[in-house]
Amino acid sequence: MSVLEVKDLGKRFDTLQVLHGISFSLEKGEAIAIIGSSGSGKTTLLRCLNFLEKPDKGTIIVNNNVIFDAMDAATQKESEVRKKRLHFGLVFQNFNLFPQYTVLKNVTLAAEMLAKERPDYKQNKKAILEGIQENGKRLLSQVGLSDKLDYYPHQISGGQQQRVAIARALALEPDILCFDEPTSALDPELTGEVLKVIRNLAERNTTMIIVTHEMNFARDVADRIIFMDEGVIVEQGKPQEVFDNPKEERTKQFLARYTEGK
């Protein structure tokens, strides 16, 4: 059973059609890497999945529930969008950590807010909050930052900040974790530590969609590659197929430009 099914998703900004009918599905435990040049619509696709943009057409189905249907306004209610977002986690290119909170608080804040909506919050407040703290510490140790719990974002490196952002996204246990060019804002020597964390997640069979320009990383980590160009999925398949035997001319051109530089 697919965790995620995207059908015929379209998005237009004014006169610019950014996504032309994107369809794909994602299995539980699968990691997809989306590659393609800038402006091909990769980021917009992730933003649509996270309800940061509203698609003009198409449907998004998670665990067999239609969570978005462009033709059905009932699926777009603002009050429910907030809950639906929780199916997805998003790691931003620029981390977007909350500067006034410590590393640990960055990870636990959203869970603490959500816990208030639990019916048993008042009775079990202390236990619930302790559980959230423990979970936060566990996640931060998983990304190798146990010694930075009380640091503020500006006191740690970009690579460390991005690892905090990953822990923050994991804290809400999303069905699907999305990465939007997670290493593009980092110095080259800092990308490794972030990629290592993502690789580790892939080994634990975390369901992920990774938009990336790191081709070697995509080949290693992803179960499937999607190549996008000008708002359409040009080609998809296993990493070996797409990288070693691309069928489409546009894929070949794109990959050729990448290998030339190396």
Partner 1 sequence: MNQIPVIISRLSESFLINCRLFVLTLVFSLPLGLLIAFGSMCRFKPLRWLVRTFVWIIRGTPLMLQLIIIFYGPGLLGMSMTWPNGDAGRFTAATVAFVINYACYLSEIYRGGIESIPKGQYEAGQVLGMTKGQIFFKVTLLQVVKRILPPVGNEVITLVKDTSLARIIANKEIIMMAGEYSSKGLIWPLFATGVYFLIFIGVLTVLFDYLEKKLSYFHA
Q: Which residues bind partner 1 (CB under 8 A)?
A: 50-52, 82-83, 85-86, 88-90, 92, 94, 96-101, 109-110, 113-114, 152-154, 168-169, 172
Q: Beta strand pairing status for 88-91 and 65-69? A: unpaired
Q: How many CB atoms lie within 10 A of CB 23?
A: 13
CA distances from 20 to 53, 180, 237 (A): 15, 20, 20
Closer residue to partner 1 in complex, CB, 143/233: 143
Encoded tokens for 225? 């590659």
Closer residue to partner 1 in complex, CB, 90/233: 90
Residue 97 CB, shortest distance to partner 1, in Å, is 8
Closer residue to partner 1 in complex, CB, 133/236: 133
Residue 95 CB, shortest distance to partner 1, in Å, is 8
Cα separation, 79 vs 229, whole angstroms: 34
Which residue from 232, 237, 245 is spatially nearest to 21, judged by alpha carbons? Answer: 232
Residue 252 CB, shortest distance to partner 1, in Å, is 35
Encoded tokens for 4? 């995620």
Q: Let me know: does 243 contact 219? Beta carbons within 8 Å.
A: yes
CA distances from 8 to 18, 116, 140 (A): 13, 37, 37
Cα separation, 114 vs 173, whole angstroms: 12
Cα separation, 199 vs 196, whole angstroms: 5
Residue 169 CB, shortest distance to partner 1, in Å, is 8
Closer residue to partner 1 in complex, CB, 13/98: 98
Residue 77 CB, shortest distance to partner 1, in Å, is 14
CA distances from 142 to 68, 176, 198, 236 (A): 33, 18, 11, 31
Residue 15 CB, shortest distance to partner 1, in Å, is 22
